[in-house]
Amino acid sequence: MFQNSLSNNKISYTVACVSNFAATYRLSKKDAFSYLYNNKAIAFLKEHYDIEHTLSIADAVEDMAEICRQNGGTL
């Protein structure tokens, strides 16, 4: 039961981060997710959830943007 709750928290957190990224960069949520996925930011959030979820969403958006830039993203 705890594992399922943690998975739901990760999913909710990822959705919130993608939504805020989309709003920040004026993208659709679908385009934001594709950009973040293709430039490794979704994998980054998944791998570093234990740290990232303790930061503000604005900090997470900045971190995702930096990961994307490091992986060829050009927003």
Would you state the pLDDT for residue 7? Answer: 84
The residue ranking higher by pLDDT, 8 or 14, is: 14
Would you state the pLDDT for residue 2? Answer: 46
CB-side neighbour CA atoms (13 Å) of 42: 14
Residue among 48, 52, 44, 41 at smallest CA distance from 75: 41
Q: What average pLDDT score do residues 6-19 get?
A: 90
| Cβ contact 65:32 at 8 Å | no
Question: What is this structure's pTM?
Answer: 0.88
Residues 6+ apart with CB under 8 A from 5: none
The 10s digit of each residue's pLDDT in 19-55 is 999 999 999 999 999 999 999 999 999 999 999 999 9
